[in-house]
Amino acid sequence: MNLPNLITLGRLLSVPVAVYLLMQTAYMAAFLLFVAAGISDALDGYLAKRYNQTTRLGAFLDPLADKTLLVSIYVTLGLQGDLPNWLVVLVVFRDLLIIGGAVLAPLVRVEVRIRPLAISKLNTAVQIGLAAFVLGQLALDVHVDLVESAMIYLVAATTAASGASYLVYWARQTAGNGKNGPPAAP
């Protein structure tokens, strides 16, 4: 356990606090915590690379913390009526699809290397942007419906494209593995 991993763990542990703050309509505090989580994500990555402290634990914890925070914010905002339910379902389904693929691959003895696709990185950025925008609107009690609507449809488009891209990528990886026959039994 090193400093970057502790920062990541702190971000993961901030998730229930962020959800609680939203449920209590403490929007400014939730917004500030979300911003602090974003800063901590950049900081832990910088420290890990700068001081050569990258670890397998960190490689697992960092995306777990990021996705847990983002999905929790989306679900809570959806339940409160601040994001459309169809968008929340789309975002959660995409993440479950990716996790399901990662879990299933070894079970069916197919080696699929998971790597972040460019569309997935864009999708994460716009998902974060929408969450920050909605939280900021709630915190400041202002609403810019046209911008929010445009961002919602951008998130929907990139989420669908990202999910489809992972399916195509995995299908190609699986087909490539199938040509050589199934891996030998251990």
Tokens coding 62:
């960092």
Q: At what angle do helices 85-107 and 145-179 cross, to 10 degrees?
A: 20
Confidence of residue 116 (pLDDT cuts 50, 70, 90): confident
pLDDT one-digit tens code per residue, 65-112: 999 999 999 999 999 999 999 999 999 999 998 888 777 777 776 666
Q: How far is Cα of residue 24 from the mean position of the Cα atoms in its chain? A: 24
Alpha-helical (H) ranges within the chain are 3-23, 27-50, 56-79, 85-107, 118-140, 145-179
Helix/strand/coil for 38: helix
Mark 74-89 as b/e (b = at least 16 C-beta within 10 Å).
bbbbbeeebbeeebbe
Check if the beta carbon of residue 147 is closer than 8 Å to that of residue 133.
Answer: yes
Tokens coding 166:
């992972």
Check if the beta carbon of residue 177 is closer than 8 Å to that of residue 111.
Answer: yes
pLDDT one-digit tens code per residue, 150-183: 999 999 999 999 999 988 888 887 777 644 433 3
Distance (Å, whole) CA 123 – CA 126: 5
pLDDT one-digit tens code per residue, 33-43: 999 999 999 99
Domains contained in the chain, CATH given: 3-179 (1.20.120.1760)
Helix/strand/coil for 138: helix
